Structures are given as C-alpha cells and as structure tokens.
Amino acid sequence: MVEETHQNQINIPKKRPLRSVGKVILYAIMALIGIVQIFPLIWLFDYSLLKSGDFFGNAILQIPNPPQWENYISAFTQGKVLPYFINSALVTFVSVVLTAVVSVLLAYAITRMKWRLSALVANIILIGMMIPIHATLLPNFIIFHKIDLLNSYWALILPYTAFNIPISMFIITGFMQTIPRSIEEAAVIDGSSIFGILRHIIFPLTKPAIATISVVNFINCWNEFIMAYTFITADKYKTLPFSIIQFTGQYSSNYGAQFAVMSLIAIPSIIIYLIFTDEINKGLMAGSIK
C-alpha cells in the first residue's frame, strides 16, 4: 500500500498555472533557494580546479585558468581514494545484502508466522530505531576491543546492519501485508516448505521494497563516518570518509587537492541519487510515515 501511494504522490504533478507577475516572483524565490542549496557544491567543484595560491581573493567564483586537474590526481593518490573506496564498497555491499536478507526473514516471521512473542520482538526492534548511534559507540568499542573485532570489516558491517534493520524490516512488513495469503496457501497445498515459499513467492514479490530499502541503506552506509572513525584505526580497513579527514590533516595547505578529494567523495553519491531518485524518495518517505 505504502509503496503505491508514494509512487502516485511523487510522479503525478498537479498543473495549476499562475498569472505572470506571480510567476516571476515564484521563480525568483525558487531560484534563490535552489541556489542556496546547490551553490556551496558548485563552489566546491570550482575551487577544486584552482591553484592553491588562487584561493585568497575576493572573487566568489573564479574561472580556473588553466583547470588544475592534477589536484584530482594528487587527491586520488595521496588521499588513498582507491583502497578506501574498495573498503567502502565491500563494507557497504555486505551490509546492504545482509540487512535485506535478515529483514525479509524477520518481516515474514512477524507478518505471517504464528508465535507468542511476535509482538514483543517487533516492539524491541522498533526501540532499536530510537537508540542514538552515538550512545552505542563506547560500549561497542569496549566489546569489540574485548573480542578483538576492532579493525576488521565486521566491526563496521555488524553495527551498520543492526542500525538499518529496524526501518528496513518495518518497510518490508508494510509491503508484505499487501501480498495475498492465498498464494502461500496454494504453495503449501502443493507441498512447499516455508523456505520454498520464501524463495519462490515472497522474495520475488517483495523485490520493489527490497530495492527501496537497499538504495537508502546504501547511502547510509556509504556516508557513515562516526562508527568507522571509532572502530577503525588501521589503514587497511579505512573507508572513504577517511580520505577527507586524513587529507585535511596532512596536506592542510594544499587547498585545491583538499577540495578535489571532497568532490571525489561527493560525486558518487550525487550520481547514485540522480539514478535512483524515486527509490530514495520512496524509501525515505515510507520510513518516516511508518
């Protein structure tokens, strides 16, 4: 249900034209806010192509003359963008897949199976949604230290998955409730097991909801910083946000390259967003309305 209504809400524009004076004011306001929202990023890309010496002028935007593409090269090599990128991709991919799998299983057990503690478990998971990440940093650091999990991929994958489970499970639950039970009943009569039903019926039918939560979880994990900063100190496991942190520390006077490394981190998120705008919007709204 949720999915359907949102699709309508997003895609069907309402056409109510205004008179011309109103139109001018309208576009002026929209342009102003649009510029405020996007201008810092334009400035970022612009300055990422400048020589460090060109930073200290009063011009708002400067035409890079010539564009310093080598800023991107030094950002890429000195900022260790590639190894960190691979770590980010690995951690994000495993977290997203793991979250999707366990959330589907949980949602199925809660919407379809009959057991006494069902409501209690659902409520405990809901509480997980309200716990601030920061309150778990210190105790998790102590636990990870004790079981020797600091500086490993699991030190990120497990908490990322945990914090994405509540919202993902609730979005999938909402979606699953719209699947008619008669399909499962027919499968049971044909002798299918629960796992058969999950694989051949529930999983394919839940795909749109899985896509939605996966895209949103991807953005969350990809951009996550504070847990990575707390649980990872070894260079081998660092994720992409560390490129910026380390770069601004070590090469603090190389402004152009600093801006280039920031651009390099921002660009993939923007591209993913432009490709999956609708999925992201749906996911965020389904998550908030639940």
Partner 1 sequence: MDRLMSDKKTIFTLVAPGFLILLSMILLPIAMSVYYGTTDWSGIGSFNFVGLENFKNIIFHDDVFRKSLLNALYLTVATILIQHPLAILLAILITHCGRWEKVLRTILFIPAIISVVVTAKLWASVYNPQYGLLNNMLETVGLSFLKQDWLGDPRFAIWSVILVVMWQGFGYAFLLYYAGLKGVPEELYEAAKIDGANYFQLYGRIVIPLLAPMMRVAIVIAVITCLKQMEVVFLMTNGGPGSSTQLLGNYLYQTAFSKGLYGYGNAISVVFVIIVLIITVILNKILTRDVGEY
Nearer to partner 1, 179 or 285 (CB): 285
Please report, as a single letter, which amino acid is at residue 143: I
Q: Stretches 64-72, 76-84, 138-146, 203-211: which one binds partner 1 (CB under 8 A)?
A: 138-146
Count interface residues toward partner 1 (CB under 8 A).
106
Site for partner 1 in 156-195 (CB under 8 A): 158-159, 161-163, 165-166, 169, 185, 188, 193-195
Q: How far is Cα 141 from Cα 222, in angstroms, rounded to an integer? A: 21
Could you give phi then psi for residue 82, rounded to 5 degrees? -65, -55
Among 67, 69, 134, 199, binds partner 1 (CB under 8 A): 134
User: 161, 102 in Cβ contact below 8 A?
Assistant: yes
What whole-number distance in Å separates Cα of residue 52 and Cα of residue 135? 40
8 lies in the binding site for partner 1 (CB under 8 A) = yes
Candidate residues 121, 199, 233, 236; the one interacting with partner 1 per rule CB under 8 A: 121
Nearest to 227 by CA among 121, 135, 148, 96: 135
Q: Which helix (H) or strand (E) holds 74?
A: helix 70-78
Residues 33, 287: Cα–Cα separation, whole Å: 26
Please, which of residues 193-212 interact with partner 1 by CB under 8 A? 193-195
Identify each DSSP E strand in the chain by its residue range. Answer: none
The nearest distance, CB 243 to partner 1, in angstroms, is 9
Closer by beta carbon to partner 1, 39 or else 69:
39
Residues 221/91, Cβ–Cβ less than 8 Å: yes
Instruction: Answer yes or no whether residue 93 interacts with partner 1 by CB under 8 A.
Output: no
Q: Which of 21, 127, 190, 252 binds partner 1 (CB under 8 A)?
A: 127
Structure-token pair, residue 214? 């996966």
**Residues between 216 and 275 with contacts to partner 1, criterion CB under 8 A:** 219, 222-223, 225-226, 230, 240-241, 244-245, 248, 255, 258-259, 262, 265-266, 269-270, 272-274
Window 41-70: residues binding partner 1 (CB under 8 A): 41, 43-44, 47, 55-60
Amino acid at site 85: F
